Amino acid sequence: MTGATGKTRNVFLVWFVWPLITLGIYHFVWWYKINREARDFDARIHVTPGVSLLAVLIGWIIIVPPFVSVFNTGRRIGRMQRAAGIEASCNPWIGFLLTFVFSLHSLYYQMELNKIWAKYGDPAEGTTVSLAA
């Protein structure tokens, strides 16, 4: 089985700089992209990036959806790590709790995603790679 790689990003830029410069808009763009990367990396991961984005964008109206999206995204990253053949070190509970500490979940999740891309030698985004069984 094969999948497409995502983009290696600087964790500090993802967490602090780009959201600050764009008044928070970058966070939503990044959220869509990492969920799309999960879908494109492993076909066994079923996610609709647009729905994940809507959960964090307007889900605050009913409180629960953003937290569910943060948790489920952490689970997806763990599944991606297993599919890459590395130990699943991404813990969705840690990501969930870091949401309440300066929104550090984005820093944590990008750091975990970068481990996957590093396993493949930091290829260009969209490069086809082999997945573990």
Burial 11-26 (b: 16+ CB within 10 A, else e): bebbbeebbeeeeeeb
Q: What's the pTM value of the predicted model, to 2 decimals?
A: 0.95
* pLDDT tens digits along 89-122: 999 999 999 999 999 999 999 999 999 999 999 9
Domain ranges of the chain: 2-130
CA–CA separation, 8 and 115 (whole Å): 9
Contact 36, 73 (CB under 8 A): no
pLDDT of residue 68: 97
Q: Residue 3 — φ and ψ, nearest 5°?
A: -155, 170
**What would the DSSP string read from start to end of 110-130?**
HHHHHHHHHHTTSPPTT-EEE
